[in-house]
Amino acid sequence: MSEVAAKAPHEVSRRRTFAIISHPDAGKTTLTEKLLLYGGAVQLAGSVTARKNQRATTSDWMELEKQRGISVSSTVLQFEYKDCVVNLLDTPGHKDFSEDTYRVLTAVDAAVMVIDAGKGIESQTLKLFEVCRRRGVPIFTFMNKLDRPARPPLELLDELERVLGIAACPMNWPLGDGVDFKGVFDRESNQVHLFERTVGGKFRAPVNVKGIEDDSVRDALPPLVYQRVCDELDLLEGGGSPFDFDQVRKGQLSPVFYGSAMNNFGVQMMLDGFLKIAPPPAPRMSGDQFIEPASPNFSGFVFKIQANMNPKHRDRVAFIRIVSGCFQRDMSATNTRTGTRMRLGNSQRLFAQERETVNEAWAGDVVGLVGNYDLQIGDTLSEEAGIKFDEMPTFPPECFAYLHNENTSKFKRFREGLDQLLKEGVAQPFELPDAAVRVPLLGAVGPLQFDVLKYRLESEYNAEVRLEFAPWSLVRWIKEKNPEDAPKPVRGQVGPSRPNLVASYDTTLAQDVHGNWVALFGDKVSLGYFESKN
Ligand code: GDP
């Protein structure tokens, strides 16, 4: 047996790759920082907040910087904890939604959803949750900020089930909230973890109790709180969702942990529970074949590309999620899309501001390839021929804009920058065959993507650009069974020019980057009309 084949099962089984999803301000950054403490990355833990504070001081482009700040410096944080190798992938933290976030979620095997217990489920939580659910990713819940007045814990559970439509099983139970927050009761081990308000959250060993009836628990809580907790636990025993390992793994049941990230309370319990229950890297499909993570041949896919991470070096990093085998520096692999074989030389792990060369990595890990590899988002790299992962979803854009180059003498830079940023997937290009003037038409899921594009073209490529918003908000791909039937545009004519396509005046035809036909609509009414007529 080769060395890789011998080591692979162990290396794969100890890996956990996940992302934290949350609505802004629920506590994602704080939780990330505390998790890092457990990985022994203490000196780096502070840098997460430091970075956030830096970001918060940039005024003009705050949202943008915030988004860039996060994705620039920490795409993946890796640490070892209790013989597990934990890969925590960062999802961009802006309030507007973008394709970036979706793509990162293709590279994880589980997600931790942070909820502000005072607020419950917020808009962004819901959207990100939907993305995870669609992929069948197991979702863990951390109910945060119990040290502040929180909504009743049963109500929060009920909301998870009602709004998200997922069964929820509390692994621990809060003993009060706000000023009355005294700790949590671990339902599995019958231990009470008492909370003490100290700066930074001093550790106190959990107390073994016989159950919630134990005198030490009764003594620790104000009588009313104690009574409430007993009633709640009774209700849970009677009607709550029982823990079911398989259901969690299928993404149908979310284990819920209550705590306070800022006080580092309940974080370790969550991390321990998570590592025990969350799945190691799963096989992924290539066509109709499962590629097993422990198989000896290396394979992986590109889920993110970012240029100019280091403005001084103008470099470009392609992030690969390893699906199978062992990545070794300087190995060769084939890019399935182009058929070219490449040497994977400059491989790095990016940890906060620091970079470290990766010599070896396994399924579940993420490596950044630095340099001008001909890689695009969604590309498969593999040692074996014929493997192709189809992990990257495409999203129908919901806003469109023309991008004008405002300075003809800088056209080359404009073009170079635009090509690069489109490769990174910052926006999706469309072509209007009927248009008399060829100004690039771009589509995006959220308008922030356009701001990012403009800002980066100006700051990284020194181009001068202007965005002109286009009137469409919906797009549908037109599937032609027979290519002969594809719409034939007629120059100078607005709207669909195939005689047998009937559409309202605000509908137009365009082609996506692969040459497929799409119809662009101003609103749902036009779309409905189009669908009813064609
Ligand atoms: P993010 O936007 O989701 O990354 O949220 P942050 O981690 O930056 O947290 C937002 C705010 O909530 C910050 O002011 C944190 O200090 C605060 N915060 C986070 N966790 C807790 C907690 O457990 N209790 C309290 N009281 N505040 C918290």
Mean pLDDT of the 88-105 span: 74
In which residue are the tokens 């640490």 written? 79
**Residue 318 DSSP SS3:** strand
CA gap 265, 195 in Å, rounded: 7
Q: Which atom of ligand 1 is nearest to the CA of 265?
A: 23
CA gap 144, 142 in Å, rounded: 6
Q: Is 106 in the pocket of ligand 1 (CB under 6 A)?
A: no
DSSP β-bridge partners for residue 334? 341, 382
Residues contacting residue 224 through CB under 8 Å, at least 6 positions apart: none
- pLDDT, one tens digit per residue, over 476-534 is 988 765 555 655 544 444 444 554 577 777 788 888 888 888 889 999 988 888 888 77
What does each C-alpha distance from 151 to 83, 176, 418, 475 come to in angstroms? 36, 10, 47, 40
Q: Quick one: pLDDT at residue 426? A: 86
Q: Quick one: pLDDT at residue 95? A: 56
Mean pLDDT of the 31-60 span: 55
Instruction: Return mean pLDDT, the chain.
Output: 83
CA gap 338, 423 in Å, rounded: 15
Q: Quick one: pLDDT at residue 98? A: 67
In this structure, are residues 298 and 325 in contact, taking their beta carbons and an 8 Å threshold? yes
- pLDDT, one tens digit per residue, over 414-427 is 999 999 889 888 89
Interior angle at CA 226, CA 224 and CA 227, nearest 5:
65
pTM for this structure? 0.83
Ligand 1, atom 6, lies closest to the CA of 27
Residues contacting residue 130 through CB under 8 Å, at least 6 positions apart: none
Q: Which of 59-73, 121-135, 142-156 has the lowest mean pLDDT?
A: 59-73
Residue 206 has pLDDT above 70, yes or no: no
Extract the tokens encoding 347. 């491989």
CA gap 85, 15 in Å, rounded: 5
- pLDDT, one tens digit per residue, over 291-333 is 999 999 999 999 988 776 665 666 778 889 999 999 998 899 9
Burial of 379 (0-12, 13-18, 19+ CB in 10 A): buried
Among 262, 264, 267, say which to mutate for ligand 1: greatest number of ligand atoms within 8 Å of CB: 262
Residue 348 has pLDDT above 80, yes or no: no
In this structure, are residues 352 and 44 in contact, taking their beta carbons and an 8 Å threshold? yes
Per-residue confidence band for 61, with pLDDT thresholds at 50, 70 and 90: very low
Interior angle at CA 328, CA 309 and CA 322, nearest 5:
65
In this structure, what DSSP letter does residue 164 have?
I
Residue 130 has pLDDT above 60, yes or no: yes
DSSP β-bridge partners for residue 327? 361
Q: Is 266 in the pocket of ligand 1 (CB under 6 A)?
A: no
Is 145 labelled as part of a ligand binding site?
yes
Mean pLDDT of the 430-450 span: 83
CA atoms within 13 A on the CB side of 111: 31
What spacing in Å lies between the alpha carbon of 262 and ligand 1's midpoint?
Answer: 6
